[in-house]
Amino acid sequence: MPRSSAPLLLSLVAVLGLAACAQQQAAAPPPAAPAPLRGDQNFVDRAALGTGSEIELGQLARTRAASPAVRAFAARILTDHRQANARLRSLERRLQMVPATAPPPPSQLAAQFGADFDRQFMSDQVKNHQEAVQLFEAEARTGQDPRLRKYATDTLPMLYRNLQQAQAISARLGG
Which residues, other chains included, contact 168 with Cβ-Cβ below 8 Å and sequence gap of 6+? none
Q: Are 140 and 156 in contact (CB under 8 A)?
A: yes
Q: Do the beta carbons of residue 81 and residue 55 sit within 8 Å?
A: yes
Asked whether the beta carbons of 144 and 36 are under 8 A apart, the reply is no
CB within 8 Å of 76: residues ≥ 6 apart: 162, 165
pLDDT in tens, 162-173: 999 999 999 999
Kindly list the averaged pLDDT for each block of 10 residues, start to end, along the chain of length 175: 48 45 48 55 92 92 94 96 95 87 70 90 96 96 95 97 97 86
Q: pLDDT digit string (tens) for 90-127?
A: 999 999 888 777 666 667 787 888 899 999 999 999 99
Nearest 5°: the CA angle 126, 168, 45 is 25
Domains of the chain, earliest start first = 38-173 (1.20.1260.10)
